[in-house]
Structure 1
Amino acid sequence: VFQLLTDLKQQRKESGKNKQSSGQQNLNTIMYETLKYISKTPCRYQSPETVRNFLIAMKCHKLTK
């Protein structure tokens, strides 16, 4: 999620589109608050490879929902 929001923010910055409708302002607020929160958590440093390795390591424990 962190990477997706970071990429979306960068794309919007590069395209120069800054529509300021109320819906757009709400989206901007949600993106800002989410990025602010996520950047303070360990998930900021996770990569797809790290998650994949974790899932492989946990597979032998046969955990369920």
Structure 2
Amino acid sequence: KVFQLLTDLKQQRKESGKNKQSSGQQNLNTIMYETLKYISKTPCRYQSPETVRDFLVAMKGHKLTK
């Protein structure tokens, strides 16, 4: 969800032309960039709500605890 949210937000900001305005905005841009960069290198980039739900259903029978 985080990857999709940040990707969508990045696209919206790109379309509106509001990439860099203030130092706070630059900080947000940096955080978004670093987070997207990190997430894109992990398997979670390919996860969807459906695959997570399917995994949880499959694991439910194993009675794992926290």
**TM-score exceeds 0.5:** yes
> 1:7: Cα distance to partner?
0.5
- Equivalent positions of 1:1-65 (< 5 A) are 1-65=2-66
Identity percentage over the alignment? 95
**1:63 positional shift:** 2.2
**Distance in structure 2 (CA, Å) of the matches to 1:35 and 1:58:** 28
TM-score, length basis structure 2: 0.88
Q: Could you tell me how far apart the structure 2 residues matched to 1:16 and 1:26 are?
A: 17
Deviations 1:16-54 (A, max 9, x none): 123421111110000000000100000111111111100
| 2:6/2:32 contact within 8 Å kept | yes
**Structure 1: how far apart are the matches of 2:54 and 2:64?**
16
Number of aligned residue pairs: 65
**In 1, distance between residues paired with 2:40 and 2:23?**
26
Unmatched 5+ stretches in structure 2: none
Q: Which runs of 5+ in 1 are unaligned?
A: none
> Normalized against structure 1, the TM-score is what?
0.89
| SS of structure 1 residue aligned to 2:63 | coil
CA RMSD in angstroms, aligned pairs only: 1.1
